[in-house]
A = this chain, B = another copy of it.
Amino acid sequence: MADLMNNDVFLAFSTYATIVVLKMMFMAPLTGYFRITRKAFSNWEDTAIGKKNPEDRKKMLQTNPDVERVRRCHQNDLENIIPFVVIGLLYAFTGPDLSTALLHFRVFVGSRFIHTVSYILALPQPSRGLSWIVGMITTFSMAYRVLTTALLL
List 28 A-B pairs, Cβ < 8 Å.
A1-B7, A3-B3, A4-B93, A5-B93, A5-B150, A8-B152, A10-B93, A10-B150, A14-B90, A14-B150, A15-B153, A18-B87, A18-B90, A18-B146, A18-B147, A19-B147, A21-B143, A22-B83, A24-B83, A25-B80, A27-B79, A28-B80, A42-B68, A42-B72, A74-B79, A78-B78, A82-B86, A85-B86
Specify the chain B residue showing the minimal Cβ separation from A133: B29
Q: Which 7 A-B pairs have the closest CB atoms?
A: A11-B152, A14-B150, A12-B152, A14-B90, A11-B150, A18-B146, A21-B83
Question: Contact partner of A4 among B1, B16, B125, CB < 8 A?
Answer: B1
Copies of this protein in the assembly total 3
Please determine whether B122 and A2 come into contact, CB atoms closer than 8 angstroms: no
Q: What chain B residues lie within 8 Å of A22 (beta carbons)?
A: 83, 140, 143
Residues of B within 8 A of A152 (CB): 8, 11-12, 14-15
Which B residues lie within 8 Å of A49 (CB)?
A: 125
